[in-house]
């Protein structure tokens, strides 16, 4: 068997080096893929946490509005009763003005609650849930 130099088997060192380079490139691609998967999972977790926070804020705002409505109803009834009592009995005692003042205070607090609820909803609409920096500002 006559061997010519061109027919000699390739140097095994070249094959191993090429295989090592391919394996290293595959490792780099796999690491990059793992990093992207981690980023996706982190984004999904953050989105889920934001969704929960948004729901908490909206629920609290809705509850404040319900309480404000109830307080307004009671204060309106108190105010009307004081007015009616004063009108029917033509009295000018201390109870009617006190009742009217309490009713006015209740309506003032209800208005503030509604404003706070509206502010929370507006913040959500334009900025998303509050961050710790938002809550530290007041």
Of 109, 110, 108, 130, the C-alpha closest to 120 is 130
| Per-residue pLDDT at 127 | 85
| Per-residue pLDDT at 8 | 46
The helix or strand, by DSSP H or E, that contains position 96, with its residue range, turns out to be helix 95-127
Write out pLDDT tens, residues 6-49. 554 556 668 888 888 999 999 999 999 999 999 999 888 888 88
**CA dist., res. 56 & res. 37, Å (int):** 29
Residue 30 tokens read as 């796999």
* Residue 2 pLDDT exceeds 80: no
Give the lowest-confidence range in 24-33, 59-68, 71-80, 81-90: 81-90
Of 107, 134, 116, the C-alpha closest to 63 is 116
> What is the pTM (predicted TM-score) of this model?
0.58
78-83 average pLDDT score: 84
SS3 18: helix
| Per-residue pLDDT at 39 | 92
Domain boundaries defined on the chain: 12-130
Q: Are 116 and 67 in contact (CB under 8 A)?
A: no
* Residue 72 pLDDT exceeds 80: yes
**CA dist., res. 135 & res. 51, Å (int):** 18
Q: Are 54 and 128 in contact (CB under 8 A)?
A: yes
Q: What is the chain's mean pLDDT, rounded?
A: 82
């Amino acid at each position: 068997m006559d061997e010519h130099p061109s027919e000699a088997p390739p140097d095994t060192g070249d094959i191993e080096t090429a295989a090592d380079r391919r394996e290293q490139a595959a490792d780099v691609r796999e690491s990059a893929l793992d990093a992207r998967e981690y980023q996706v999972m982190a984004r999904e977790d953050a989105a889920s946490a934001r969704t929960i926070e948004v729901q908490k804020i909206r629920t609290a705002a809705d509850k404040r509005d319900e309480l404000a409505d109830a307080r307004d109803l009671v204060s309106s009834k108190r105010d009307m009763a004081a007015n009616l009592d004063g009108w029917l009995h033509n009295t000018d005692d201390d109870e009617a003005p006190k009742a009217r003042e309490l009713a006015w205070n209740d309506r003032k607090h209800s208005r503030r609650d509604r404003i706070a609820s509206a502010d929370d909803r507006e913040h959500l609409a334009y900025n998303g849930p509050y961050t710790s920096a938002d809550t530290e500002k007041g």
